[in-house]
Structure 1
Amino acid sequence: MGSDQSGQADGAGRFPAREHEVRCVSAAGIHRMAYREYGPCDAARTLLCVHGLTRNGHDFEPLAQRLAADGWRVVCPDVVGRGHSSWLADPRHYEFPQYVADMMLLLARLDLDSVSWLGTSMGGLIGMIIASLDDSPVERLILNDVGPFVPVEALRRIGEYVGQAPSFASVDEAERFLRFVCAPFGDLGDAGWRRLTETSIKPVADGRWNMRYDPRIAENFRAQAAGGDIDLWPIYERIRCPTLVIRGARSDLLGADTLAQMALRGPLAQTAEIAGVGHAPMFFDDAQIGLLRAFLAGH
């Protein structure tokens, strides 16, 4: 894939996405990971935005546009099996070691020695793992509604819909479904819900629409949920870069107690809660985006 490489705003003040892909490898062979870039190609600062379990990099478009106007280069990959990326030949490799390896290859492709990282849910766990490693390229870390402890009840709730989405007869039908299963995202407004729907589905045979992810990602996820709570405190406590943790105030995945402990352990994270939102904030509005801009500016 390819597109305009200037990195400059158009006449309407928007930054066209530059679309690319990088070849990655698993034990089952080669797969392609799609990613989009926004903002100046030669920017001094780069933010990598990594989405949640069934989402894709388009979720960060409003944020990417705002940060590109601030002079940032923003890179939004589609994790393998999601969005415009390949589906893995063997679904057993939909797991964190594969995701970490793919992201490190992407950073090498981008020729980045250091990067700021924003991860929502699964994307935050990937970032947490990379940030905990010696000689990590992550210089600032933002964890969006995820932490080192994830209760099994939240995993089971998510497992109820992962891979279970029906085929839709229309975009309107898909939007009604997403408004229901993604209600914890909060009030996105009519335009926000339509945008989220259009970037979440793809046309298939007979004029129908399917979700834009491999339903087989549910296999490993449900197996993990069957194992009980996720406890990654030893990983979190190795992180030393400046860290911001944002929690949806109604979240069942990141508890208030865990958020409080994250401010006292490991990187001694800054913390914030967003009212009226569960799992997870989407950064579609100026107030939510403002939290990230302040942290990235070093405030």
Structure 2
Amino acid sequence: MADFEQHFIQSADGLSLGYRVYAGDPAQMPLICLPGLTRNARDFHQLATLLTAQIVVAPTIVSVDYRGRGTSDRAADPATYNIGTECQDLLLLLDHLKIDKACFIGTSRGGLILHILTSVAPERIGCVIFNDVGPVLEIQGLRDIQSYLTGAPALAGWPEAVRHLKSIHGQGFPALQEDDWQDLAQSIYVDRDDRITADCDPAIGRAFATLPLEEPLPDLWAQFDQFADIPMMVVRGENSTLLSEATVGEMQARRPRLRAVVALGQGHAPLLHVEPLARDIISFLNSVTGD
């Protein structure tokens, strides 16, 4: 498995924010990995392991814990759990690491943060992989997320955690093998006080679970159009209810060089290290480095 170093910075409002660094060639543009709504840096460990081993000249990989997730502090004010504040936290991290430009992988919420980043600091974005997210979020997918966040229980042990994940996501993820489900459980949950619970501030899930979804959310096409003509890739889960084929088609119409890939046998959001998707990502990143 790839080795990483755990680090922390302090946010503008005094929170300790965690991130992992997988060391690579400093001459390469670094890769910044941004997880989903209630997820954390561990989501990208298996992918980082593959990339470190299989990219011709592997970049440094940085995997982020947003405020309230993983190793980062929980916020005293839950209102700061928003993509604008999280984008500012990201800029703080880039400045701290002296990263002028990076390639980004944005899973779900991570992709939304990138839409904000391109509005405030487009020069920092060298390439993008959107993981099952785009400028339009389908209301059914948002309702599906609400459903499983609303019913998130504390679990008695890791086998129960795996069974719980399969009961929620099994139909949408037939491509996953048993070890994938176990890895997924270990990335989402943490053993705290002899109970297995989601590794994030419960306030994040509660706020999203009460989001009114009678009408679609505003789209982000104006922000998407501000992305420079950079290498771009979008991954759509074959069984995703959040990112539609129509939205991917419109993204390609606006950015003809955008590479679109379907994660077969996966829903929202695809595990990026599962084959053959991992090979597509490696091919894309190799093309970006020119090797």
TM (norm. structure 1) is: 0.88
* Aligned match of 2:188: 200
On the 8 A contact 2:141/2:240 being kept in 1, the answer is no
Which residue does the alignment assign to 1:30?
14
Task: Give the counterpart letter for 1:140 in structure 2.
Answer: C
Matched, 1:75 2:62: yes
1:48 to 24, 27, 32: 32
Partner residue, 1:191: 179
Q: Which of 115, 119, 125 is residue 106 of structure 2 equivalent to?
A: 119
Structure 2 unaligned residues grouped into runs of 5+:
none
Q: What corresponds to 1:64 in structure 2?
A: 48
Give the number of aligned pairs: 282
SS at 2:148 equivalent: coil
Q: Is the counterpart of residue 165 in structure 1 residue 177 in structure 2?
A: no
Structure 1: gaps of 5 or more residues: 1-13
* Paired residues of 2:9 and 2:18 also in contact (CA < 8 A): yes
**Residues 49-93 of structure 1 deviation map (CA, whole Å, 9 limit, x = unaligned):** 111112211111121112223322111111111112111111111
- Bigger drift between 159-168 and 99-108 goes to 159-168
Question: 1:258 and 1:20, CA in 2 relative to 1: closer, same or farther beyond 3 A?
Answer: same
Structure 1 letter corresponding to 2:246 = D
Per-residue deviation at 1:222? 4.0
Structure 1 segment 120-159 matched on structure 2, within 5 A: 120-159=107-146
Q: 1:290 to 1:158 in 2, by over 3 A?
A: same
Decide whether aligned partners of structure 1 residues 186 and 109 sit closer, same or farther in structure 2, where only a CA change above 3 A counts. farther
With the length of structure 2 as denominator, give the TM-score of the two structures. Answer: 0.90
Residue 243 (structure 2) pairs with residue 254 (structure 1):
yes
Note closer, same or farther for the CA distance 1:39–1:150 as it changes in structure 2 (3 Å cut).
same
The structural deviation recorded for 1:280 is 1.6
Query: Judging changes above 3 Å, is the alpha-carbon distance between structure 1 residues 233 and 186 closer, same or farther for their aligned structure 2 residues?
Result: farther
Partners of 1:144 and 1:255 lie apart in 2 by: 12
Q: CA deviation at 1:223?
A: 5.1
Q: Would the aligned equivalents of 1:283 and 1:289 in 2 still touch at CA under 8 Å?
A: yes
* CA RMSD after TM alignment: 2.0
Contact 2:37–2:108 (8 Å) recurs in 1:
yes
Equivalent position of 2:226 in the other structure: 238
Aligned equivalents of 2:154, 2:262: Cα separation in 1:
35
Of Structure 1 and Structure 2, the greater helix share is in: 2
Which residue identity is paired with 2:186? E
1:128-180 deviation per Cα after TM superposition (whole angstroms, max 9, x unaligned): 22134454301101101111011222211111122541111111111111222
Report how far residue 285 of structure 1 moved: 2.4
Larger relative contact order (C-alpha < 8 A, sep ≥ 6)?
Answer: 2
The alpha carbon displacement at 1:198 in A equals 2.1
Conserved 8 A contact 1:155-1:225? no
Quote how far apart the aligned CAs of 1:268 are: 5.0
The Cα offsets for residues 226-268 of structure 1, whole Å up to 9 and x where unpaired, read as 3632311111111112211111121110001111010011575
SS, match of residue 297 in structure 1: helix
1:213 to 194, 200, 203: 200
Aligned to 1:175: 162
- 1:182 match: secondary structure: helix
Partner of 1:4: none
1:295 equivalent in alignment to 2:284 = yes
Percent of paired sites with the same residue: 32
Cα 1:43–1:227 change in 2 (3 A) is farther
The 1:85–1:41 alpha-carbon spacing in structure 2 relative to 1, beyond 3 Å, is farther
AA matched with 2:279: G
Tell me, in whole angstroms, the C-alpha distance in 2 between the residues paired with 1:163 and 1:43.
45
